[in-house]
Amino acid sequence: MTAEQKNDKAPLIFFVSPIASQPDTQIRTSSTRAYLALATGSLAFVLATINVTVSNVAFPEIVKAFPGISSGTSGWIISGYALAFSSTLLSGGRLADRYGRLPIFKFGLIGLSISSVAAGFASNIWILVAARAAQGICGALAVPSSLALVLPKFLPSRQASVIGLWAAAGMAASGLAPGLAAFILEFGSWRLIYLILAPISCLGLLGAKLFLDETAAKDTDKTLDLFGVSMGSGSIFFLVLATLQGRSWGWNAPITITCFLFSVTLLVALVSRSKNHPEPAIDLDLFRIRSFAIANIAVALSMVGAFTSWFLWPVYLTEVWNYSKLSIGLAFTPAPVISALVAILSGRWADKHGFRGLMGLASFLAASGHIWLYLFLNETVNFWFSFFPATVLFGLGMGALASQLNSAALLAIPAKSIATANGIHQSLRYAVGAMGAATAIAILNDAHDVWRYDLMWFLLAGMQMAVIPLMLFAYPKSEIKKSASIKAT
């Protein structure tokens, strides 16, 4: 057993190379090349992230460009991407582990480039909706592999820091994208917001060619349960669809109830099928790994707060404080930027000291941000006292949570399943995020009374506080020895 295996703090996500035939010196590349690979992988995550935030800012301008469309139709500009992205993440991870992470990653970036051009030149609303859905599908193919292709290039003792950097890129992009989108809209067309994504995707392809290497051995001896993969994606699709459209359809409407029933039925059938299939769509053994199961419960509770807050903040600033788009972009920026910085520092801490205490403290800080809004935010415009401190507290907490819950979930995952596990983790994030935003819409009910927002801050604080005992007492102190033994088999 090496010194790294004895260290019960550092997550050994890739202690054993996924491709046994490659010597360790080939996997652990030079520092410069490794960080260029990290930049390439992070770029895919950035593209998937900013596709959400820039569209939220540009949405009113897009609607004006297509006069006469209904609100239900225009809503698919946003929900079409979210639905396609969240329902494809699970498949993207499984396909990458099975058929090769690098080709799936490249295919996703090529698709992102083409679909971004299509969105930018869309001549009618349905072409735009279709292009947005294609962006979601292609982004979901690239994201799970973007981390799995990078981690093997770093020593196990650095991998929490690497995940922190990967997550920080997405957080920083989320913070800067609304301001950039508002700036573009001040002087140009909403179409530029999508067209600019095409050359960025091409830059990612160039990085993949120069700096990324395959990290998964293709395994085609057994036939992958593609029907099961479709069932998993379908379950998430119907869940997110019902959540996004429940308010407009009616929560008690037959179509909404049917979508929820389809989601549950497909999930139950998938679990049953995966127990017996020789090459299942979902490896149920992953959920027997305690660190993976507990971290995913924690991320579900935390990401409801994250996505719901990022939805509610600009709505509150617009409807209650009457902020302009540019002012909203500037007000929205500090929290994700702070989160990005904290993500980097928290990764270094987790490499040395583990996750449990860090996640407990981070959850307390994020919950404190919600509590601050509950206590002090009202109709009186007072940004520096009522709003800014809450965004700082939330940013400090969420910076550690959003990045290191990912690390905590992947701690004991076998190398061959890393993209699959990351796909499950990311899919859960976005599914619960959509549910949180839909719940907020239902509570607001087209009214913007402060008490409705207060109710949301209170509920989100309670959910975030629940993460503290979960990570302090339920998350294992160490699964390193178990992790190493799994990888050695």
Tens of pLDDT, residue by residue over 270-292, are: 999 988 888 887 888 888 899 99
The H-or-E segment that residue 301 falls in is: helix 290-319
Please say if the pLDDT value at position 370 is more than 70.
yes
- Give the confidence band of 483 by pLDDT, cuts at 50, 70, 90: very low
Final residue of a structural domain among 234, 262, 280: 280
Question: Is residue 92 situated within a structural domain?
Answer: yes
Can you say whether the dihedral through the CA atoms of 28, 33, 39, 41 is positive or negative? Answer: negative
Question: Is residue 2 situated within a structural domain?
Answer: no
Name the burial class of residue 476, with classes exposed (0-12), middle (13-18) and buried (19+) by CB atoms within 10 angstroms of its CB: middle
**CA–CA separation, 417 vs 18, rounded Å?**
9
pLDDT of residue 305: 86
Q: What is the mean pLDDT of residues 126-153?
A: 91
Q: Are residues 241 and 131 in the same domain?
A: no
- Give the confidence band of 416 by pLDDT, cuts at 50, 70, 90: confident
Contact 15, 156 (CB under 8 A): yes
Question: Is residue 172 situated within a structural domain?
Answer: yes
pLDDT of residue 184: 85
Average pLDDT across the chain, whole number: 83
Tokens of 471: 């990570």
Number of domain units in the chain: 2
Q: Are residues 126 and 232 in the same domain?
A: no
Q: Are residues 305 and 400 in the same domain?
A: yes
DSSP state, residue 402? H
Q: Are residues 147 and 270 in the same domain?
A: no
Please say if the pLDDT value at position 482 is more than 60.
no
Q: Are residues 263 and 306 in the same domain?
A: no
Name the burial class of residue 210, with classes exposed (0-12), middle (13-18) and buried (19+) by CB atoms within 10 angstroms of its CB: exposed
Tell me which of 108-112, 120-124, 125-129, 326-330 is least confident: 326-330
CATH classification at residue 95: 1.20.1250.20
Tens of pLDDT, residues 304-322:
888 888 778 888 998 899 9
Q: Are residues 332 and 466 in the same domain?
A: yes
pLDDT of residue 418: 82
Q: Are residues 25 and 154 in the same domain?
A: yes
Q: Are residues 329 and 387 in the same domain?
A: yes
Question: Is residue 243 situated within a structural domain?
Answer: yes
Q: Are residues 86 and 15 in the same domain?
A: yes
**CA–CA separation, 433 vs 301, rounded Å?**
10
Residue of 182, 173, 464, 125 whose CA lies nearest to 314: 182
Highest mean pLDDT among 165-169, 207-211, 220-224 belongs to 207-211
Q: What is the mean pLDDT of residues 21-45?
A: 72
Measured in whole angstroms, how far is the alpha carbon of residue 202 from the centre of its chain?
A: 22
Question: Is residue 3 situated within a structural domain?
Answer: no
Question: Is residue 335 situated within a structural domain?
Answer: yes
Q: Are residues 100 and 229 in the same domain?
A: no
Question: Is residue 407 situated within a structural domain?
Answer: yes
Final residue of a structural domain among 280, 301, 316: 280
Final residue of a structural domain among 245, 280, 315: 280
Give the count of beta carbons closer than 10 Å to the beta carbon of residue 410: 27
Q: What is the DSSP string of 149-215?
A: TTGGGS-GGGHHHHHHHHHHHHHHHHHHHHHHHHHHHHHS-THHHHHTHHHHHHHHHHHHHHH----
The amino acid occupying position 223 is: T
Of 14 and 90, the structure prediction assigns the larger pLDDT to: 90
Question: Is residue 6 situated within a structural domain?
Answer: no
pLDDT of residue 201: 95
Tokens of 119: 């969105």
**Structural domain of 482:** 11-224+281-488
Name the burial class of residue 33, with classes exposed (0-12), middle (13-18) and buried (19+) by CB atoms within 10 angstroms of its CB: middle
Highest mean pLDDT among 22-31, 111-120, 417-426, 444-453 belongs to 111-120
Q: Are residues 201 and 262 in the same domain?
A: no
Q: Are residues 131 and 96 in the same domain?
A: yes
The amino acid occupying position 124 is: N
